[in-house]
Structure 1
Amino acid sequence: MLRLSALYRFPVKSLGGELLQRAEVDDLGLAGDRRWMVVDSASGRFLTQRQLPGMARIGARWRDGETLELSAPERAPLRVTVPPADLALREVTVWRDSLEAPDAGDAAATWLSACLARDCRLVHVPASRARQVDTAYAQPGDKVGFADGFPLLLISQGSLDDLSARVGRPLEMLRFRPNLVIEGAAPYAEDGWGRLRIGTVEFERVKPCSRCAIPTLDPHSGERSGDGEPLRTLASYRRDADGVYFGQNLIQRGTGVLEVGMPVTLLD
């Protein structure tokens, strides 16, 4: 039987994540997931572990629906309140998308700049300012916050176990930063799924997830693997002309609540 075995939420794009037992699904994916983003203070362009591996060492978690807590080694934690949706707007860029997003203020900018040794700002995306998902894979009106391209990422535990066996050592699921982990499926069975239901929420699988270099970083320290794993192994059997793939991007079709242990039903 297929079941939901883990739920991950990443409040700030490319910072540390939260392992949850229960999560709400809203119009942008998991409620609170990737609703914040660190940007270069001069250009407004998004920053990730691709450029700044030390971002992995910064923790981010929701204290409540309006308060984010940031933490880092040898620094006092900082709490940041969700800014008003239409004030202190800053032009920011995520890949090819540009939008105006509320700035979280100087205290957050100073704290993060000190951690990362780079001038940066923290911004928030309210639902009213979310981005349209690429209509080559989605419907008009499908929205995403600051995730790379899609609201949700699913990986099966069987796929990670198979990759770990091929690499020759256990790999942390956090390297791949999924939202939903499913157990009970054969390795890479998710490649062929269409629609699925967990609890009362339906999801549509829309595109395989192409992988950048982030999975080669230790998800806690940001240190890069010396042997290029697991991307080197993935590239030997999960590559096509457009990239190396692991996991599947989803779009939610409705809202509701997910809990670890829920059965997963394949609809097509």
Structure 2
Amino acid sequence: MLIGHIKEIVRHPVKSLRGEVVNTSKIMNYGLYGDRSHAFFDDTKGDFLTITQFQEMVRYQARFVGEESLDNYPKVEVITPEGKVFDWDDHELIEELETKSKRKISTKKYTPSHVPIGPIAVEHILLTTDASLEHLEELSGKKEVDIRRFRPNLFISLIDKVPFQEEEWIGRRIKIGSEVEIELVGYCPRCMIITVDPDDAQRNPSLLKTLVKERKSNFGVYASVIKTGDICVDDEVILLD
């Protein structure tokens, strides 16, 4: 059954930095090509550095530059809030992040053939829908809620605009385009990250309070990759029997 189309594809070359919107992507066995393939490591705590510890990370834009290969990822660039462009592991950028976060930072990266389940943390792909976002705006009383707060990989425009119907698909598979199949496996419980404004990194807890009250903190669903392949914006999304 045709349920919608891909409205937006977002990958995050560096964990917790602002993602990049792309028109096409390969779906690998670990998710979108290059998603969370690079990460900053908090040597002070012995764990990945994320928005939870350093919320200004949302203002740094990460992007791939160059030809994409199944052997090696392209170069990763980071654009700072001031508009400076660095290679993601440039010493000057690391020093800036260390100064702002007050932490000792190192870098970690994966390869296209390696499953980076550590940085992804839970599952391969995070999916949300336009109907659910619109309903959340109504529940929260906000004129517009920025989808970037939720950091989805796939943002689906539904034909039947029933909010949160993606939660009913858990345990079922959907097909995207002509090749890719994913299986919906669970809810995505939200944390303080959605309270951080993607533009200025300021926090406002009201959105999370709404989700806790109305949706048991859940928004979006996780999916595992069943069949790899290529996807594009506007691809049909089909709920399989």
TM-score, scaled to structure 1: 0.79
| Worse-superposed segment, 214-223 or 37-46 | 37-46
- Which residue is equivalent to 2:152? 178
- List gaps (5 residues or longer) in structure 2: 67-72
- Which residue is equivalent to 1:46? 48
- Which residue is equivalent to 1:16? 18
- Which residue is equivalent to 2:192? 213
- Which residue is equivalent to 1:162? 135
- Preserved contact between residue 33 and residue 112 of structure 2 (Cα < 8 Å): no
Q: CA RMSD in A?
A: 1.9
CA–CA separation in structure 1 for the residues paired with 2:163 and 2:82? 40
**Superposition misfits of 4+ residues, deviation over 4 angstroms:** 104-108
CA–CA separation in structure 2 for the residues paired with 1:264 and 1:145? 28
CA–CA separation in structure 2 for the residues paired with 1:37 and 1:205? 26
Alpha-carbon offset, residue 263 of structure 1:
0.8
- Which AA in structure 2 matches 1:181? F
- List gaps (5 residues or longer) in structure 1: 81-103, 132-143
- Preserved contact between residue 9 and residue 154 of structure 2 (Cα < 8 Å): yes
- Which AA in structure 1 matches 2:21? L
CA–CA separation in structure 2 for the residues paired with 1:69 and 1:250? 28
Describe the SS at the equivalent of 1:230.
Answer: helix
- Which residue is equivalent to 2:211? 234
Describe the SS at the equivalent of 1:2.
Answer: strand
- Preserved contact between residue 156 and residue 247 of structure 1 (Cα < 8 Å): yes
Matched, 1:188 2:164: yes
Alpha-carbon offset, residue 205 of structure 1:
0.3
- Which residue is equivalent to 1:245? 218
- Which AA in structure 2 matches 1:73? P
CA–CA separation in structure 2 for the residues paired with 1:188 and 1:33? 25
Bigger relative contact order, structure 1 or 2 (CA pairs below 8 A, ≥6 apart): 2
Paired positions, count: 227
CA–CA separation in structure 2 for the residues paired with 1:257 and 1:128? 16
Please give the residue correspondences for 1:110-149 in structure 2 after superposition, counting only pairs within 5 Å: 110-114=95-99, 116-127=101-112, 129-130=114-115, 144=117, 146-149=119-122
Q: Percent identity?
A: 33
Change (3 A) 1:42 1:231: closer
